[in-house]
Each structure stands twice: as C-alpha cells, then as structure tokens.
Chain A
Amino acid sequence: MTAELTAALAAEYAAIFAYGPIGVRLTGAEQAEARAAEAAHRRLRDALVLTLDAAALPTAAPAYALPEPVADRAAALRVAIEVERRAAAVWRAALPATTGGQRRQALDALTGCAIRATRWRRFADTAPLTVPFPGKTP
C-alpha cells in the first residue's frame, strides 16, 4: 500500500507545481478552474500526508518537469489535461493496494482527476470529452 500512496503523493506534488504556470496563462472561468483544481490537489496531498507514515514521506522537489513549456493558453490547457491524466493513473494504481475507506478515497481522487480532465477538454474544445477507462495507461 505504502509504495502506491507514496507515488500518489509525488504525483500530487507535481500537479500542485504545474497549476502555478498553468494559472498564469489563463483568465476568467479557466483561471478559476485552475485555482479550484490546484486546491483539490492540495487537499489530496494533505490527506496523503496524514495517511502516510512520517518516516516514509517524500518531500516536494523545488521544481517538476512539465510535459511541455506553458507558453500560452493552448499549452496551459494541454498541460492541465496531461497533469490530470498522470494523477489519475497513480490513483488508479492505488486501488488494488487499498481496501475499505482508503480505497474509497483513492477512487474519489481518481474520479476527481477524471472530471477535471473532462472540464479541461471542454475548455480546450478537445473531442471527445471523455475517455473510456480513466487512469488506465496504454
């Protein structure tokens, strides 16, 4: 269980980092969505920090590699979709490693990532809005 949740924590750190440069390139409703998404990832991080043994906690790196430079709005939307796709994958991987309430939390996290990815696809006018198996890596 710990390895999968530790991986989830690392992904949450990376997502929180990415929403900084993403938010800078967006305005209006899109910027509000970026702020809400960042807050959601902070909540997921905080819950993981409480769950994981303090000795096993990875610390956040000062910077994370983004899938591409966030040069403009279009890139910000692409990166946001990719950030949520990556986070969904680690949460899906945590499902078999958890049971009961922890599995429910991991599923809530996977579902949140999948819903945010759908919202970003709508902002980006990307079709289709949904994927058949959120979090599944090809």
Chain B
Amino acid sequence: MVLTDQVRSADTRDETHQRVRRRTVLALGAAAAVTGVAGCDREPPAPPPPDPLLPLATDAVALAGRYRLAAADLPDRAPTLTPIAEAHEAHAAELARLMATPTPPAPSAAPSADGADARLEALRAAEKAAYDAAVEACVDAPAHRAALVGSIAAARATHLEALK
C-alpha cells in the first residue's frame, strides 16, 4: 500500500518533470526565436530525444489491435484474446500517462487470411518480442518507472502462457 503511494508520487514527480521540461523547451524556443531574429541563420534547437518508453507504448497499441482483430476472426478464442487486448490497451494508456504524451496512433492491423494456428503463432511471436523489449526497458528504467514497466513485462509473459 505504502509502496503504491510511493510509486504514485513518483509518477506525479515524473509529470512535474515533464511540465518543467515543456516550460524549458518553450523558453528555449522563445529564446531561439529572439536569437533567430538577431542572428538570422541560427539552427533551431534540436527536438528532445524520444522517451525510452515510446517503443513499449507503440508495441502495446499495435498488439491491442492485432488481438482485437484475432478475437473477431476466432470467436472461440475470444474469451482468451479479448482480455489480452484490453490489457495492452491499459498498458498503452498508463505509458502515455507516464510519458505525458498522447497514446501513439494505432496502425491498422492487417486482416489475415491465415488459419487459426498460424494466427496464434504470429501473435505469440509478436508478444514474445514485446516481452523481451519490456524486460530490457524495466532493467534500464529509472526507479519511479520500474514498477509499471515491470508489471507490463510480467503481463506480456502471462499472455504467452494464456496462449498455450
């Protein structure tokens, strides 16, 4: 309970950082604009590097779409596939909150003419790759992000178990 609170306050801190960073970026932008007027050919400031959690969010959104489509095409597997799709959607939403950026747009999942076994095998492969990426992201994450990213990694492992 206490630890949850710590995580939550750490999340809040992260949002504060984001706000501060945004303010800094705005201030830098304004300064650059002024400098630009005075000095003409100055380079615009480099955009901030993308958040290291962005690939995780992109994976979550893409996987959610693929599971939704598979659940629609394979109704007898929907009771397993739909909760997994919902989990990926919840992960994408939490990651977006942590990064203070909007959820990345969903790529349209391509319809598949493959049979059920091939569809599930493709989902397993995509889930395994996403799990591996989440493990490394958790190990590299700062303390205030480690719990959420760790839960996402563990959830992806349980999806592989549920697909067995």
Contact = CB atoms under 8 A, between A and B. Distances in A.
Interface stretch (A43-51, A74-82, A110-118): A110-118
Interface residues of B, number: 34
A93 B116 CA distance: 38
A62 interface: no
A4 B135 CA distance: 20
B162 interface: yes
A130 B83 contact: yes
B158 A114 contact: yes
B147 to A, nearest CB: 5
Contact of A129 (B83, B91, B144, B147): B83
B57 interface: no
Contacts of B162: 118, 122, 129-130
Interface extent on A, as a size class? 20 to 34
Interface in A69-124: 88, 92-93, 95-100, 103-104, 106-107, 110-111, 113-115, 117-119, 122
Given A92-B151, A129-B83, A114 B139 contact: no
Interface of A: 4, 88, 92-93, 95-100, 103-104, 106-107, 110-111, 113-115, 117-119, 122, 127-137
